[in-house]
Amino acid sequence: MRLQNMTPVERKTTILLVAAALFNGVILSLGQTQDIIARKALHAKDWQLMLMTMIWPVANFFSVWWARVYERSLHKQRYFLIAGIIGRLTLVYGIWLVSMNEYLVLLGLLFASNSLIVPAQNSIYQRNINPSRRAGVFGIVHSVGIAVSLVLTYLAGRLLDIREDSFRLILVVTGIVGFASAAILALVKIQEPMVKRERRPLNWKQLLLEPVGGTLRLLKENKPFAAFERSFSIYGMGFIMMQPIIPIYLVDRLQLTYTANFLAKGIVSQLGLLLLSPLIGKLHDRMHPFRFMAAAFGLLMVFPLLFVVSSLVQGEALLPVVIVFVAYLIFGVAMAGVNITWNMGSIYFAGDEDASIYQSVHVTMTGIRGLIAPVLGYLVLKLFSLTMVFVVAAGFFLAAALISFRDYRRWKTTVGQIPPGLPVKQ
């Protein structure tokens, strides 16, 4: 994708998005390492890992309210700065951090701010980038962030193996650099439509209830989007329920060092995202979202099944670790597809409507399943076994793949059900 083929607005927007991604790589790195730091350095208990897993999706639950405020604002860029200050600069407190509970609070602020940044960033892609290359641009931008994340994750692992309490310094640097990423996004001038709706001030009742009613109405009226959310909710149950279990297996069962943990979880798992995101982004632009999702969810099912195989051969010296690394390699390829669909799918179904509202609903839905999935994973762990958690997760991925393919066959030729302004892609 060449910059000279873009319009001036697209070119400037893409450059700023890439610049922001360079700094955002440090946030991505923390996202890949936060649970290992919690288990090894802060000695998090099983229930604390469960709560940590819940923080991200539960914080996302409020995205639909953030988006309604954002939608009505005449100064959208300032929300990136607000989110950067509240959710990223506060990580500087990490220099004084001594307990897991403090760590949970900092992560809560970080993910709460992301629940505003993600829908706002979708507005940039919708308003400033042509639909024919939107996912392609996203793939390139995301690959830049992943490339930075890979380097930082490896360095973090080496540093923590040398001096474990250096995680505090990592948090401080992450906060400062992460804020710089949000500040760069604030420089993007979003191309608003020429005709704007009247913006009257909302009272508290409207502010609290209107997003809920609007969400339910949107899901009722846009049935393909509702089907999209259903499939992602099924996938999300499997994905989220594994998250508090994975560090238990890697740290307690396999007893991997920081470097080995970060190499598998933060580097090998990201290779697919790094190398394939631009290509898969172009593929996404040419395929129907449901067909694309079915393939991604189906491939992702292999990831937890390989963890099951690894646990069955745990008595071997090196084989379980090798299988985990292979699992993360496949995970990276599958998540390259899931990640693009997660970020770009709502724009497809929004059509000519405001994509930030659709994405806020999409993000908020993660909060709903985030209240259930970690508890389900914890209960399966305590009542059955660690291995059974991965078996159940694989079942969710399979169900999501099959349902998505069924939805593809249902909606692929139903032009009237697709939002106006978008062709039916097969």
The lowest-confidence range among 41-45, 393-397, 417-421 is 417-421
Whether residue 239 contacts residue 365, with contact meaning beta carbons closer than 8 Å, is answered with no
CATH topology of domain 3-190+214-409: Growth Hormone; Chain: A; (1.20.1250)
For 26-74, how does the pLDDT look when each residue is reduced to its tens digit (9 = 90+)? 998 998 889 999 999 999 999 999 999 888 777 776 666 666 666 666 5
pLDDT 10s digits, 188-203: 887 766 444 555 555 5
pLDDT reported for residue 122: 74
Ramachandran angles phi, psi of 259, nearest 5°: -60, -45
- Phi/psi-derived region of residue 351, left when phi > 0, alpha when psi is between -120 and 50, beta in every other case: left
Measured distance CA(78)–CA(188) in Å, rounded: 11
Q: What is the DSSP letter of 420?
A: T
One-letter amino acid identity for 334?
A
CA distance 259 to 271: 16
Reported as a single tens digit per residue, the pLDDT across 125-150 is 878 888 777 777 887 888 898 889 98
Going by C-alpha positions, the residue among 182, 216, 227, 191 that lies closest to residue 364 is 216
Region 393-403: mean pLDDT is 96
Each domain of the chain, given as residue ranges in start order, spans: 3-190+214-409
Output the pLDDT for position 107. Answer: 93
List Cβ neighbours of 339 (8 Å cut-off, separation of 6 or more): 142, 273, 277
What distance in Å separates the CA atoms of residue 47 and residue 244, rounded to the nearest whole number? 9
- C-alpha to C-alpha distance for 150 and 263, rounded to whole angstroms: 9
